[in-house]
Structure 1
C-alpha cells in the first residue's frame, strides 16, 4: 500500500487556513514543518508558534485524483497554489524504522544508554536501559549528552541529587547507577514523572532511592527526606531552557548545600552570559562547556 503526499510551501499567517483546506479535501493527516531552519525556543504558556516559512505535508489515499485535488485547492484559495511538490509514500513498518534509528550511545568510559531491544556493547559498564518516549531525555540531544558526559567522569558515590525538569529521568537514573544515594526528580509534567518512575523500574532502581514530585511539592519532599528544606543536597541538575533557568535562579541556588554543586544545561551560546549572571551572586561558575551551539554550566555554591 502507498499514499500520495503533497508538500506545500507557505507562510505562518496562511498555514492554518491552508491546513484546513487540505483536510476539507480529504487529507488523512497534515504535518507542519520548519522550511527555513528557524528555531522556535521557549514559547509562552498556551502558545503554539509557527515558523515564518512553513512546509505543509498532506497525506492522501493513493487513488486520489491529483489534478482535481490541485484544482479544488486553487479554487478554494482564490489564486494559484504556492510552490509544491508531490511524492508517493510507500508503506513501511514505521515503528521498526524508528527503533533502528536509536542505538546504544557511550558517555565517558563507563556509561552507556542502551535501548531495550539491543544487547549492551559492554556488559560490565554502567548500562542505562532506555527507550525513546514522550518525555525529553534519551541522550541524543547535546544538552542531555553534555550532562551525561559530566556525570560519567565525576564521583557520584553517596551523593544526594535533585534533577529539576527531569523529563525521562535519564540524568537522575545515571547518577544513581553511578553511585548516588538519593535522587529527587522534579517536573511540572505528570507524564514526565510517570516516565521517570517507569524508566527507574526498568533499570532496577530501588523505589526508596528515586523520588518524584511536582515543583510545588518539592519543599515537602525535602523536609520528609532531610528534616528541613534548608538542608540542601550535594548536586542540583537542571537541563531545561535559558528562560526557565533564569526565572528559577532564586529557587535553584537555594537547593544545593554549602559546597554543593549545580549543573545547568539547555542554554544556547548567546544566552550563556544572561544565565551566568542570574546565578553569579550565589554560585561560583566554571568556564562553560560547549557542544555545537549549546552550553553547559557547572558551578559550586
Structure 2
C-alpha cells in the first residue's frame, strides 16, 4: 500500500491540537519532529517535550483526498488558514525491514559488542550482548550509554558487586555481569524499563535483580553506574553515598559538559572524588571513587 504524507511546521501550542485533528479525520499516524535543530537535553520528569517550532507529519491512505484534508484542517483551525502544508506520495516499503536495517552490531572498547537479535555476532569470541532497540532508553546508540559501555570495557568489574541505577533497558547491568561482576542489580522509576531489563536479561541468560526504585534495596556495592540526567544525579548524591562502599567506584553520565564542574563539586560534599572526565560532543561522563 502507498501513502500520502501531509507535513507542516507549527508553533508548540498548535502541535497537539493539530495532531488530534489529523487523527480525527483519518490519519493512520502522526509524528512530531524538531523543525529547526532545537535539542531538548533535559525535559522535566513526566513531561512530553515539544519543540518551539515542531514539524507535524501525518500519514494517510493513498486514496485520501489531500486537498480536502488540508481544507478541513484550515476550516477547523482558522489560525492555519494561510499555512503551508506539504503533500507528498510515499512509496510502499517493507517498513519493518527498513527499520531493522538501521541497527547494526556496535563495538564498545576492545571486547564488548551490542548485537541486535536479527544479526550474527561479528566476533563470536568477544562479549556479545543480544539487545534489540525498544521503548526503554539505552541500546548503545546514545553517546552517554556508549561512554558507560566503553568505561566498563576498559575497567571490567570482575569479582565486584554492581548497581545499574536508572537501568533503562538493562544494558549496563548486562555488560557488567558479562564482564565478570559477581552480583548485579538494577533499578528504575519506569515499570516499562524494569520489564524490558528483565526480558533482556532472560535473552542473555543473565541472572540480575531488577526492581522499581521504591522497591529497591541493596547493600553497599563496589561499583554504581548511573546514566540518567544531571538534575536527578544531583538529587541522588546522598543515596549514592549510602549505596557505594568506602573506596568503591562511581560512574555518572547523562549530563552535559557544561554541567560537569558543578556536579563534581556537589559530589565532594558526599565523599566522592570524581577525577575522570570523558566527553563526546556535548555529553560528559564522570568517574571516580568514594573516599
Alignment TM-score, normalising by the size of structure 2 = 0.94
Corresponding residue number in structure 2 for 1:82: 83
Corresponding residue number in structure 2 for 1:212: 210
Are 2:53 and 1:64 aligned? no
> Partner of 1:287: helix, strand, or coil?
strand
Answer whether contact 1:159 1:182 (CA < 8 A) is retained: yes
Answer whether contact 2:113 2:126 (CA < 8 A) is retained: yes
Are 2:289 and 1:297 aligned? no
Question: Deviation at 1:215?
Answer: 1.5
The alpha-carbon distance between structure 1 residues 60 and 185, as it changes in their structure 2 partners (threshold 3 A), is: same
**Cα distance between partner residues in 1 of 2:285 and 2:111:** 21
Answer whether contact 1:73 1:81 (CA < 8 A) is retained: no
**Cα distance between partner residues in 2 of 1:105 and 1:264:** 22
Are 2:156 and 1:158 aligned? no
Are 2:248 and 1:247 aligned? no
> Partner of 2:31: helix, strand, or coil?
strand
Corresponding residue number in structure 2 for 1:261: 249
The alpha-carbon distance between structure 1 residues 150 and 4, as it changes in their structure 2 partners (threshold 3 A), is: same
**Cα distance between partner residues in 1 of 2:24 and 2:111:** 54
Are 2:93 and 1:92 aligned? yes
Corresponding residue number in structure 2 for 1:276: 264
Answer whether contact 2:3 2:59 (CA < 8 A) is retained: yes
Q: For residues 72-221 of structure 1, what are the structure 2 equivalents within 5 Å?
A: 72-78=72-78, 80-205=81-206, 207=207, 210-219=208-217
Question: Deviation at 1:22?
Answer: 2.2
Question: Deviation at 1:75?
Answer: 2.4
The alpha-carbon distance between structure 1 residues 71 and 214, as it changes in their structure 2 partners (threshold 3 A), is: closer
Gaps of 5+ in 1: 223-228
Runs of 4+ in 1 over 4 A off after TM superposition: none
**Cα distance between partner residues in 2 of 1:13 and 1:190:** 30
Q: Give the aligned CA root-mean-square deviation in angstroms.
A: 1.6
**Cα distance between partner residues in 2 of 1:75 and 1:213:** 50
Alignment TM-score, normalising by the size of structure 1 = 0.91
**Cα distance between partner residues in 2 of 1:30 and 1:100:** 23
Gaps of 5+ in 2: none
